Chain A
Amino acid sequence: MTALRTGIAQFCTLAVCGVLLGAFYEQFAGAVLPCPLCMLQRMAMVLCAAGPAWILALSLRRRVGPDDYARGYGASVLGAVLGAAVSARQVLLHIEPGDPGYGEAVLGLHLYTWAFVVFVVVLLVSGLHLMLAMPAKEERLPWQGASRVVVLVLLAITALNAVLVFALAGFHAYLPDDPTGYRLFEDLGWSTPSE
């Protein structure tokens, strides 16, 4: 059961990292620049992944107990509730018949619809884990090398997002509703502003 709990924490963190990498792919290969609501969903996904990553980070230093699991998956629930609200808002913005939606559809659904699905799954997994898979006492988690890599991958993706969103927003307080280019490069005169 300890191995299962470790596997769930690693899988949940990596799954969210995979979704964030998919968003990067869409941004660079699909050339669809993220809107403000897309960035808010990315932030909420990092908050969701921070919960299980927290448990893994703790397990690198000491034994983890029920209170650590409760804190980690409680954090995931908070992030998922916020993320689900943001993605539901974006789904509702494009719900009218004939509306093409924002960006390209992936497997028939737009990214914000997939994001809503991800947030609901995070809520379900966190709730089920808190109900059914809590340890009775403190335990030492296995696969510490993999846990170390998983936490570092999440950290790297979050830092990369900070750089990317700065490039998108430039020296402006907010992102444009419908971004057409990287405003930092336009502000610095490295590229011409696009309409």
Chain B
Amino acid sequence: MAALIFVLLTAMLVAMWKGKDGLATILFLISLVAVALLFNHHITDSLGLSL
């Protein structure tokens, strides 16, 4: 999962570099949500609440 998020972040920076601002915005938001969900998993996993 973590490697996938870093691939998303790399793709976002490549999109910025290539001038694809719409795609970069979408990838930024997807990465943000993915990091938040992974953080949520690590919090709830220790409590036995993670899916």
Contact = CB atoms under 8 A, between A and B. Distances in A.
Interface of A: 36-37, 39-40, 43-44, 46-47, 50, 53-54, 57-58, 61, 71, 75, 78-79, 82, 85-86, 89, 151-152, 154-155, 158-159, 161-162, 165-166, 168-169, 173-175
Contact of A82 (B3, B7, B13, B36): B36
Contacts, number: 87
Given A47-B32, A82-B32, 4 more contacts: A36-B38, A151-B13, A155-B13, A155-B14
B47 to A, nearest CB: 13
A192 to B, nearest CB: 23
Interface of B: 1-3, 5-7, 9-10, 12-14, 16-17, 19, 21, 24-25, 28, 31-32, 35-36, 38-39, 41-43
A91 to B, nearest CB: 14
B13 to A, nearest CB: 5
B13 A50 contact: yes
A102 B25 CA distance: 34
Contacts of B41: 174
Given A54-B16, A158-B13, A165-B3, A43 B35 contact: yes
Given A46-B9, A47-B9, A47-B35, A57 B17 contact: yes
B1 A174 contact: yes
A151 B24 CA distance: 14
Among B1, B7, B10: residue with most chain A CB under 10 A? B10
A53 B7 contact: no
Contacts of A152: 17
